Amino acid sequence: MSTLHLDLSKIISDQSRIITKKIEDCYVSDILGRLKGTADAVVFPINTQEVSDIMKYAHTYSIPVTPRGAGTNLVGSTVPQHGGIVLDFSRMNRILELDPETLTVTVEPGTLLSDLQQYVEQRGLFYPPDPGEKASTIGGNISTNAGGMRAVKYGVTRDYVRGLEAILPDGTVIQAGGKNVKDSSGLSLKNLLIGSEGTLAVLTRCILRLIPKPTVSFSVLIPFNSLQTGIDTVIQLIHQDANPTAIEFVERKVAALGENFLNIQLPYQNAEAFILMTFDGNNEEAVRSNIERVKIAAMKNGALDFLLLTDPQMTENVWKVRGALVKAVEAVSEQEPIDIVVPINRTADFIAYVNQLERESGVRMVSFGHAGDGNVHLCIIRGDRDDSAWQKDLSRVMTKIYTKSHQLGGLPSGEHGIGISKKPYFRMTTNPENLALMRRIKLAFDEKNIMNPGKTYSD
Amino acid sequence: MSTLHLDLSKIISDQSRIITKKIEDCYVSDILGRLKGTADAVVFPINTQEVSDIMKYAHTYSIPVTPRGAGTNLVGSTVPQHGGIVLDFSRMNRILELDPETLTVTVEPGTLLSDLQQYVEQRGLFYPPDPGEKASTIGGNISTNAGGMRAVKYGVTRDYVRGLEAILPDGTVIQAGGKNVKDSSGLSLKNLLIGSEGTLAVLTRCILRLIPKPTVSFSVLIPFNSLQTGIDTVIQLIHQDANPTAIEFVERKVAALGENFLNIQLPYQNAEAFILMTFDGNNEEAVRSNIERVKIAAMKNGALDFLLLTDPQMTENVWKVRGALVKAVEAVSEQEPIDIVVPINRTADFIAYVNQLERESGVRMVSFGHAGDGNVHLCIIRGDRDDSAWQKDLSRVMTKIYTKSHQLGGLPSGEHGIGISKKPYFRMTTNPENLALMRRIKLAFDEKNIMNPGKTYSD
């Protein structure tokens, strides 16, 4: 038995919750599995005390610690680059308290998004953030400030975190925020932890804000004869004060991948692009009146049609296709997922640029995503390139794409985070003074650089 | 001419924008005027470059810098405790750009809230944060994460800041955020700056999020025969999924002060307490249907009546009284303003405790405020106490009140900030590990401790 195993078993009583031999790849990678790290141990803590004790131990011996939820991230955030301990939160997945009076739910960070959503919706409540990956954990969602489709109306994960319990790299337990709605009491440690990708501290408890569950929800499919017309129209649709929940766009050629993958056919096969919207609320008439205004604006701006989806099967099919796009792309070829965000009025410029770059570079790219908030999902397709050609082409087009989005006032990540994969492009497009400041802030938390080292803003 | 004046005049060409002699009290105090600091110079910069140059200079010579907007804060945030330079932003008050496509407005930090609100509303847009003091500046609002009445529906200042330009203590200019809706790109410097009370950096430009202006707005006055019944009912009203904009409470005895002050009479003179609500939106029927549900819930929970205010004069009077409460209290006596926040379901417990403490201590206290988010405004009344009796009694009841709110899971400030006045109570109710971490973060920004030293979490 290794010394590390022996030491950890003094903290974690149950031996089955410590792995130091034959560590499976899944624990040292992300969901894409391309980046692989190494670890000396994987530990499955079950409470705050254990996490704190492990951090104290790691701090004493300067051992790197990589926290992971479900490992569904796309940028290598959970890849241990310097060995050490992987802290797996899958056993800390309890929903601890639903407090209907303050409309909050308190969960452990390993709670799956899908479990949380189901739990609160069964009780007439609603957790609005809705990243595509429902098998992700709440701790992971908070660490990347995950977004998702409903962000247009409801905002992102940050907007639903009321309080956090976190363990500092030296094992200190802190509480940030709580069940209060307002807070002007000192620096917002909570907001600093949100989106920090496990580089500052480890989360052990999360207090989340809920809202009453909307009683009605409608989906709308709007076909266009060009993507440009569709995207240009989005700005007009946003200005109808119709409070849409989601505004997604899909190009015809991308939708076709999803249709083939699922063996489903969407209407308007001749359309070049679709805008897909949802509207929800608690007053059907008001929601319908909002939809009516959007319909008028859409038809005035070149929509081929405006399909209010009343057939549940059709609605399900449409969202199935939207939800399956990444998998449909991956069934054809390896791909590099990108989640650049630009100001919403630059979305059309950005996509036009990507299309032009696709023609010029010969590298196939498909784009779809959150038209309502400028968060464009782009898959860069490997095709049959060998490793060296793929790395060369990928790096070439990524450099151009990130440069362009930066010129448009955009940011390298709207919801996935930076991790390892996006680091070169984050550095390329971020002021060195901002990076230096982030590193100094990290030192304020983690002077030994043991918390998920090597990620995002690190040197 | 002093050396300091000579040096500053190399940075600020216009001598009239530098004061080094006979510095008026208003520049070294807050709006309450009880705390007074000293300053060696007051400077009125007009652009980012000047602010950066002043900070570089201050950094070189380790001169404390105290930024101030309109100085309307209530906790001494703008009181220079260690001399040095007061950086007054009243000349940086331009609205730089309204971008209707991204629904953002870019302003200089000295822009008054009232000017911004008027500007955007004239153009069919809406800046939801609505702190009571409209003559405050946007920079000040951001620095304290100001809240206000409309927070129940719309959230607080933090929720409307898209991007900031800030000057670090060494003069470095950084951009944090921008016009993007989503951001998962590194640590959120923007969110760390919001609410930091000028202790980390100085703001020079603010990009704010706007929404379409609501087309309808209704106010409702709900009288109760006891404050306890009213506050208890608030939880029920919140659970009607009626999306109220504001939920305020006023005790009869407090309302009477406002009525006398303004020479206005509210209806239901025999009621012991009022809940005052607003509802807004873009669909009158939907808003009315929401109000109807709230009415049923209110009447079922002991409301004496439910007055939908249709007469504009009456509506104006009711809000005038609510808006004048602090001034009405101050017309009677000096008072200590408190803005404790507790979880919304503990508001009634907290107010009951305050009433009990009032009886026991003989110190008069009036409470009113934001029932919809647990942000209780409390005025502790001096009466005819001499200085020593006042300090003794004030400190005694404040200690008890902050201890109680802490026990209830509350925080010392929901929207005013900590500044100097609330420091002892913030320290008393904040985990030493949190305070230590905040100080280390400050060092990451300001190793010479020149940015508004001595405030909030400082030693």
In sequence order, which residues have a C-beta less than 8 Å from that of residue A260 and are 6 or more positions away? A328
CATH of A216-325, one of 3.30.420.40, 3.40.50.2300, 3.30.70.2190, 3.30.1330.10: 3.30.70.2190
How do the domains of chain A map onto residue ranges?
3-88, 95-212, 216-325, 333-416
What pairs with residue B107 in β-bridges?
B95, B206
Residue in chain A lying closest to B214 (CA):
A241
Query: Model confidence over B158-184: pLDDT tens digits?
Result: 999 999 999 999 999 999 999 999 999
Q: Which of A21-25, A208-212, A416-420, B253-257 comes out lowest in average pLDDT?
A: B253-257
How many helices (H) and strands (E) would you count in chain B?
Answer: 15, 18
Mean pLDDT of B277-305: 95
Residue whose pair of structure tokens reads 């009571």 in the numeric block: B132
Inform me whether the C-beta atom of residue B402 falls under 8 Å from chain A C-beta atoms.
Answer: no
What does the mean pLDDT of chain A come to?
95
In this structure, the number of other CB atoms found within 10 A of the CB of residue A13 comes to 10
* Chain A: closest CA distance from residue B251 (Å): 22
Q: What residue of A is the nearest CA neighbor of B141? A: A184
Distance (Å) from the alpha carbon of A239 to chain B's nearest alpha carbon: 8
Nearest to B403 by CA among B413, B394, B392, B412: B412
Does B415 touch chain A if contact means CB atoms closer than 8 Å?
yes
Arithmetic mean of pLDDT, A220-244: 92
pLDDT digits (tens, 9 = 90+) for B316-356: 999 999 988 988 999 989 999 999 999 999 998 999 999 99
Nearest by Cα to B420 from B131, B197, B140: B197
What are the structure tokens assigned to A179, written together? 């069940």
Give the mean pLDDT of A426-431: 97
Which of A 67-96 lie inside 8 A of B, CB atoms? none
CA gap B230, B222 in Å, rounded? 8
Both tokens of B204, joined, read 């020079």
Give kind and range of the element (H or E) at residue A18: strand A18-19
Residue B42 — φ and ψ, nearest 5°? -115, 130
Quote the CA–CA distance of B234 and B345 in Å, as a whole number: 9
pLDDT given at position A77: 96
Q: Assess contact for A106 and A176: CB atoms under 8 A.
A: no
CB-based contacts of A392, cutoff 8 Å, min separation 6: none
With 90 as the cut, is the pLDDT of residue A68 above it? yes
DSSP string, B256-297: HHHHHHHT---S-TT-SEEEEEEEEES-HHHHHHHHHHHHHH
From the list A181, A187, A418, the residue facing B341 with the nearest CB is A181
Q: Which of A453, A454, A419, A457 minimizes the C-alpha distance to A438?
A: A457
- Note whether A100 contacts B: Cβ–Cβ < 8 A: yes
Alpha-helical (H) ranges within B133-206 are 138-143, 151-154, 189-193
Overall residue count recorded for chain A in this entry: 459
Task: Indicate the residue of B101, B434, B445 with minimum beta-carbon distance to A189.
Answer: B434
Nearest to B184 among A144, A285, A344 (CB): A144
Calculate mean pLDDT across residues B385-389: 97
Task: List chain A residues with CB under 8 Å of B290.
Answer: 283
Helix (H, G, I), strand (E, B) or coil at A161: strand
Q: Which amino acid is at A89?
A: F
Closest-CA residue of chain A to B439: A444
User: pLDDT for A312-340, tens place per residue?
Assistant: 999 999 999 998 898 899 998 999 999 99
- CA atoms of A423 and A417, how far apart (whole Å): 10
Does residue B238 sit at the A interface (CB-CB below 8 Å)? yes
Q: Is the pLDDT at A260 greater than 80, yes or no?
A: yes
Question: % helix / strand / coil in chain A, to the nearest 5?
Answer: 40, 20, 40
Whether B178 and A373 lie within 8 Å, measured CB to CB: no
Task: Output the pLDDT for position A227.
Answer: 87
> Tell me, what's the pLDDT at B6?
87
pTM above 0.90, yes or no: yes
Candidates 3.30.710.10, 3.60.150.10, 3.30.43.10, 3.40.50.970; CATH matching B3-88:
3.30.43.10
CATH for B333-416, options being 1.10.8.60, 3.40.462.10, 3.30.70.2740, 1.10.287.10: 3.30.70.2740
Top residue of B56, B180, B458 to mutate, by most chain A CBs within 10 Å, is B180
For the segment B401-409, the average pLDDT, to the nearest whole number, is: 98
Q: What is the pLDDT of residue A6?
A: 87
CB contact under 8 A, A178 and B343: yes
Q: Would you call A99 and B282 a contact, using CB atoms and an 8 Å cutoff?
A: no
B14 to chain A, closest Cα gap in Å: 30
Which residues are B36's β-sheet partners? Answer: none
Q: So what's the pLDDT on residue B291?
A: 97
pLDDT tens string B44-79: 999 999 999 999 999 999 999 999 999 999 999 999
Q: What are phi and psi of B457, to 5 degrees?
A: -90, 5
Rounded CA gap, A77 and B13, in Å? 50
| Locus of tokens 């209830």 | B408
CA distance B220 to B309: 6
Residue B155 has pLDDT above 90, yes or no: yes
What pLDDT is attached to residue A1? 64
The percentage of residues in chain B with a pLDDT greater than 70, rounded to a whole number, is 100
Q: Under an 8 A CB cutoff, do A184 and B194 touch? A: no
Enumerate the residues of chain B whose CB falls inside 8 A of the CB of residue A143: none
- A143 to chain B, closest Cα gap in Å: 9
Instruction: Please give the Cα distance from B423 to B137 (Å, whole number).
Output: 23
Mean pLDDT of B361-388: 93
A175: left (phi over 0), alpha (psi -120 to 50) or beta: beta
Question: Could you tell me if B286 and A285 are in contact, meaning their C-beta atoms sit under 8 angstroms apart?
Answer: yes
Rounded to whole angstroms, the Cα distance separating A359 from B17 reads 57
Topology annotation, domain A95-212:
3.30.465
Q: B175: which chain A residues are within 8 Å (Cβ-Cβ)?
A: 431, 434
Burial class for B150, CB neighbours closer than 10 Å (0-12, 13-18, 19+): buried
**Nearest to B352, CA basis, from B404, B309, B301:** B404
Average pLDDT, chain B: 95
Q: How confident is the model at residue B227 (pLDDT cuts 50, 70, 90)?
A: confident
pLDDT tens by residue, A275-285: 999 999 999 99
Q: Are A57 and A123 in contact (CB under 8 A)?
A: no
* Stretch 269-308 of chain B: residues touching chain A, C-beta under 8 Å: 281-283, 285-286, 289-290
The torsion angles phi and psi of A449, rounded to 5 degrees, stand at 55, 55
Q: In CATH terms, are A3-88 and A216-325 the same topology?
A: no
Inter-chain residue contact A180 with B426, CB threshold 8 Å? no
Nearest to B326 by CA among B35, B68, B74: B74
> ipTM of the predicted structure?
0.97
Unique residue bearing structure tokens 């022996």: A6
Q: What is the DSSP letter of A459?
A: -
| Residue reference for tokens 């060092």 | B443
Neighbouring C-alpha atoms within 13 Å toward the C-beta of A457: 26
How many other C-beta atoms are found inside a 10 Å radius of the C-beta of residue A36?
12
Question: For A109-164, what is each residue's pLDDT tens digit?
Answer: 999 999 999 999 999 999 999 998 999 999 999 999 999 999 999 999 999 999 99
| Contact of B149 with B248, CB cutoff 8 Å | yes
Q: Which of B142, B308, B104 is nearest to A345 (CA)?
A: B104
Question: What residues of chain A lie within 8 A of the CB of B375, using their CB?
Answer: 181-182
So what's the pLDDT on residue A439? 98
Residues of chain A numbered 244-263 and touching chain B (CB < 8 Å)? none
Are B91 and B50 in contact by the 8 Å Cβ rule? The answer is: no
pLDDT at residue A232 is higher than 80: yes
Q: What is the dihedral of CA B312, B314, B317, B323, to 10 degrees?
A: -80
Question: Looking at the partner chain, which of A172, A212, A375 has a beta carbon nearest the beta carbon of B182?
Answer: A375
pLDDT at residue B1, as a whole number: 64
CB contact under 8 A, B440 and A444: yes
A151–chain B Cβ distance below 8 A for any pair: yes
Kindly indicate the confidence band of residue B209, based on its pLDDT and cuts at 50, 70 and 90. Answer: very high
Per-residue pLDDT, averaged over A17-23, amounts to 96
pLDDT tens by residue, B8-48:
999 998 999 999 999 999 999 999 998 999 999 999 999 99
pLDDT score of A228 more than 90: no
- Average of per-residue pLDDT across B383-407: 97
Q: Which whole-number Å values give the CA distances from B56 to B11, B60, B171, in the listed order?
A: 10, 6, 4
CB contact A457 to B (< 8 Å): yes
